[in-house]
Chain A
Amino acid sequence: MLGLNKHDAMLFVIVLILTLLAPFLLNPFPQGSSLAQFNAGYPDLMQRFVIYGIFAIGFNILFGLTGYLSFGHAAFLGMGSYAAVWIFKLLTYNVVPAILLSVIVAGLFALVIGYISLRRSGIYFSILTLAFAQMSFALAYSVLSNPKFNLTNGETGLQVYSNDPQWLHRASLPDMPHLFGLSVRSTYTLRMNGWTFDFNSGYYICAAIMILMFYLSIRIFRSPFGMMLRAIKSNQQRLNYTGLNSRPYTLAAFVISGMYAGLAGGLLAAMDPLAGAERMQWTASGEVVLMTILGGAGTLIGPVLGAGFIKYFENIFSKINDNVLHQWFAFLPDGMEDLMVTIVHPFIGKGWNLTLGLLFMIVVIFLPGGLVEGGQRVGRVFRRRDRKASGAEAEAARQRRTPAE
C-alpha cells in the first residue's frame, strides 16, 4: 500500500487512526470527575502533540539514521516561527504561505549551518550545532531587534499588530490564522452525558501534516537513501572506501530534518501567531533530543511516542500543585499526608524538569531502546505464550529486514 510493505503500512494506518480519533481517545474521563485532570483532549495540547511529533520525526531522520547528534535544532524551529509570523504581518493570515516560507527559511539556514558543522563529527559536530543555535538565539533576542532594524522584536516576541500591512487580507477572512477562511481556532464541541470532545480545525490541520510527514519519513527510512544514512552510522569509513561521499548524504539528512523543524515552528506560529527567541534556546534543542531518545531513536514510531509522552506529562505535572497533592494523599494520617506532599512537591509544577530528568535516566539505563523497546519487551512476553503468533512475527521481522521486499 502506498509503496509501503505490510508491516509499515499497518503502522501507518494505526498512527492515522489514533491521530484522527485523538479528541476521543485523549478525553477518556468525564468532565468534572476527579480524573478529568488527566485528560489531554484539549485543542492546545493536542496541537502540541502533533507539532512536536513532526519536530521529533524530522530530528530522528538525522540523529536516528546517521547518528549525528545535533544540539541546535531548536534554532530551525524558531526560524520557522519567525518566518510564519512575518507572512502574517506582511501578507495574509492564511497558513499555507506562512508554512511554506517556514520550511524554506529553515531549509536554507540548515544548508549553511549543516555545511559548516558537518565538517566535523561526533562531539565536535554537536558543539558546532549548539554554538550556531546559541548564536541564533542571541541574534533573535537582541541583535536583530533594534529601532532601525527590528526583525524579531526581541524580548517581547514577534506578533501581529493591527497596523501591520497584511496586503492580501480581506475583511471577509477571519482575523486570526486560517486555512482558506477556516479559522484554526474554530472548534466543534461534542457533548455526550458528561463527556466532552473538542474537534478543533487547527489540530486537524496539524494532524494531517504530521500524517504526511510520518509517511515521508517511512519512505525515507526504507529508501536506498535511508540505507546509506544507516551505513554512515554503522561504518562511515567503509562507506567512503565503497565509493560513496558521506558528506552530501549527511548534509541532505541535516537539511531535511531542519525543514521538518521549520515546519513545526511554522505550525506553532500558525496555531498561536507569536514567535519568541526562547523557542530557539538550548533547552528546546535538548528537548527534541530527549523526545527522540525516550521514544526510541532510529525507530519509526519512537519520536512520535516520545514527543507525546513528554508533552503530556509536562502538561499534567505542571498543573499539579500542593492542593491537588493534599487531595491525593488525604486518605493518609495528617502527619504522613504532609510528609508525602513535601516529598513529592519538588517534582511537580515548576519542578517538572526534575521529573523529566529522572524519567530520562531511568529509560536510558534500563531501556536504551526507549519506549519502543519497552513495547517490544512487553510484546515478547505475550508472544512467548503464543507459539504460533511468535512464528508469524518472526516472519514479519525477517521481511522487514529485507529491503527488497
Chain B
Amino acid sequence: MGILEVKGVNKRFGGLKALSDVNLSVRENTVHAIIGPNGAGKSTLLNCLVGKLIPDTGSVMFDGQSVLGRKPHEINQMGISRVFQTPEIFGDLTVMENILIPCFARRDGAFRLHAFENFAHEKDLVEKAEAILVDVNMIDKRNMHSASMSRGDKRRLEMAMCLVQEPKLLLLDEPTAGMARADTNNTIDLLRDIKSKRDITMCIIEHDMHVVFSLADRITVLAQGTPLVEDEPENIKGNPKVQEAYLGEAAH
C-alpha cells in the first residue's frame, strides 16, 4: 500500500480525454518518476493530486485519506508540496520572505492573525529558512528581490520553498526544464542529497532521461493519458513498448 494511491482516474477537457483510467501507487520513501511525451497528461495528473483539478471519476488517496474535494491549502497541510512547471514564487518579495512563508504555513496552519508580532521573535523560523537557503546555495541572495533572479534561481527557490515544509510527498513538475547542464546536475545532486538526509517521498515528472535514471526508484510511463508500464528503471530502458512510445520518439 503506497502513501499515494491513484485509482481509475479519468479527466476530460471537452472532447479531449487527458487522463483515462490512470492507476498509480507511490510507495513511501521512494522516488517515483512519471515520464511520457508532451501532452501525455503528466501535469494534468499532478493537478488532480493538489486540488487544482478534480477528476471526473476515480479516487486519489493520500496517507489513507481522500484528497478529492479538498482545497489546495488543505491538501498542502496534509503534507503534499508541489513545484510547478513554470516557477511559481512570490515575485514582489525577497528570497528570505519567500522561504519564511512556507515556514509559517507549516508551523501555524492555514491562517493565523499574527498582525502585531515581530520577526525578531521568530528566530527559529529564520534559522530554519537560512539553513535551507544554505542547502540550495542561495544564502548570498537572501535579500534579493526574487522576481529579478534568473529562471534557474527561481526554480531552486521554489524547490527550497517546498523542501522547507518537509512534506511527506514532494511533487516536482519538470524541475530541470530550461536549465543548463550544470544547473541540472546541481539539481540532481540537491535532490539526491535531500533524499539521503531525510525521509521523503518524491513524485517527479521529467523529460531529461539522465535525471530520471539517476534519481528514480520506479518509473511510470504515461502516453495519451494512460499508463503504459510501471517498473524499475533498468527494465524500462529495455522495454520495447516504451521505446516506441517515448524513448524512440525522443531519439529522433
Which chain A residues have a beta carbon within 8 Å of chain B's beta carbons?
3, 216, 219-220, 222-228, 230-231, 233-235, 237-246, 248-249, 252, 256, 398, 401-405
**B240: chain A residues within 8 A (beta carbon):** none
- Given the known interface contacts A234-B90, A249-B111, A404-B119, the answer about A242 and B102 at a Cβ–Cβ threshold of 8 Å is yes
- Given the known interface contacts A230-B92, A235-B88, the answer about A244 and B119 at a Cβ–Cβ threshold of 8 Å is no
**Do residues A244 and B101 form an inter-chain contact, with CB atoms below 8 A?**
yes
**Do residues B101 and A228 form an inter-chain contact, with CB atoms below 8 A?**
yes
**A235: chain B residues within 8 A (beta carbon):** 88-91
- Contact partner of B71 (CB less than 8 A), chosen from A228, A240, A404, is A240
How far, in whole Å, are A405 and B94 apart by their CA atoms in the complex?
A: 13
**Do residues A245 and B96 form an inter-chain contact, with CB atoms below 8 A?**
no
- Given the known interface contacts A238-B89, A240-B71, the answer about A252 and B50 at a Cβ–Cβ threshold of 8 Å is no
Closest to B88 in A: A238
- Nearest Cβ in chain A — how far from B121, in angstroms? 9
- Nearest Cβ in chain A — how far from B172, in angstroms? 13
**A219: chain B residues within 8 A (beta carbon):** 115-116, 118
Q: Does B229 contact A (CB under 8 A)?
A: no
- Nearest Cβ in chain A — how far from B38, in angstroms? 23
**Do residues B143 and A401 form an inter-chain contact, with CB atoms below 8 A?**
yes
- Given the known interface contacts A243-B76, A243-B102, the answer about A402 and B115 at a Cβ–Cβ threshold of 8 Å is no
**Do residues A241 and B114 form an inter-chain contact, with CB atoms below 8 A?**
no
Closest to A61 in B: B115
> Considering the complex, which residues of chain B in the window 90-149 have a beta carbon less than 8 Å from any beta carbon of chain A?
90-94, 96-97, 100-102, 104-106, 109-120, 122, 126, 142-143, 145
**Do residues B102 and A234 form an inter-chain contact, with CB atoms below 8 A?**
no
**A398: chain B residues within 8 A (beta carbon):** 143
Chain B: residues with Cβ within 8 Å of the partner, total of: 43
Give 27 CB contacts A-B under 8 Å.
Answer: A219-B116, A219-B118, A222-B118, A223-B116, A225-B113, A230-B92, A231-B90, A231-B93, A231-B97, A234-B93, A235-B91, A240-B73, A241-B72, A242-B73, A242-B81, A242-B101, A242-B161, A243-B102, A243-B109, A243-B110, A244-B105, A246-B73, A248-B111, A252-B113, A403-B97, A404-B120, A404-B122
How far, in whole Å, are A32 and B147 apart by their CA atoms in the complex?
A: 56
- Given the known interface contacts A235-B88, A242-B101, the answer about A252 and B115 at a Cβ–Cβ threshold of 8 Å is yes
- Given the known interface contacts A223-B116, A238-B89, A404-B120, the answer about A243 and B106 at a Cβ–Cβ threshold of 8 Å is yes
Q: Does B155 contact A (CB under 8 A)?
A: no
**B145: chain A residues within 8 A (beta carbon):** 401
How far, in whole Å, are A237 and B89 apart by their CA atoms in the complex?
A: 9
**Do residues B100 and A403 form an inter-chain contact, with CB atoms below 8 A?**
yes
**B88: chain A residues within 8 A (beta carbon):** 235, 237-238, 241
Q: Does B176 contact A (CB under 8 A)?
A: no
Closest to A241 in B: B72
Closest to A398 in B: B143
**Do residues B119 and A403 form an inter-chain contact, with CB atoms below 8 A?**
yes
**A243: chain B residues within 8 A (beta carbon):** 73, 76-77, 102, 105-106, 109-110, 165
- Contact partner of A225 (CB less than 8 A), chosen from B77, B114, B122, B142, is B114
How far, in whole Å, are A401 and B94 apart by their CA atoms in the complex?
A: 7
**B161: chain A residues within 8 A (beta carbon):** 242
**B101: chain A residues within 8 A (beta carbon):** 227-228, 231, 239, 242, 244
**Do residues B110 and A245 form an inter-chain contact, with CB atoms below 8 A?**
yes
**A241: chain B residues within 8 A (beta carbon):** 50, 72-73, 76, 81-82, 84, 88
Closest to A221 in B: B115
- Nearest Cβ in chain B — how far from A64, in angstroms? 12
- Nearest Cβ in chain A — how far from B64, in angstroms? 19
- Nearest Cβ in chain B — how far from A122, in angstroms? 17
**B84: chain A residues within 8 A (beta carbon):** 241
**A220: chain B residues within 8 A (beta carbon):** 115-116
- Nearest Cβ in chain A — how far from B47, in angstroms? 11
- Contact partner of A230 (CB less than 8 A), chosen from B82, B93, B113, is B93
Closest to B127 in A: A404
- Given the known interface contacts A233-B92, A234-B92, A242-B105, the answer about A223 and B114 at a Cβ–Cβ threshold of 8 Å is yes
**Do residues B100 and A227 form an inter-chain contact, with CB atoms below 8 A?**
yes
User: Which of B82, B115, B143 has most A Cβ within 10 Å?
Assistant: B115
**A240: chain B residues within 8 A (beta carbon):** 71-73, 76
- Nearest Cβ in chain B — how far from A159, in angstroms? 36
Closest to A236 in B: B90
**B117: chain A residues within 8 A (beta carbon):** 223-225
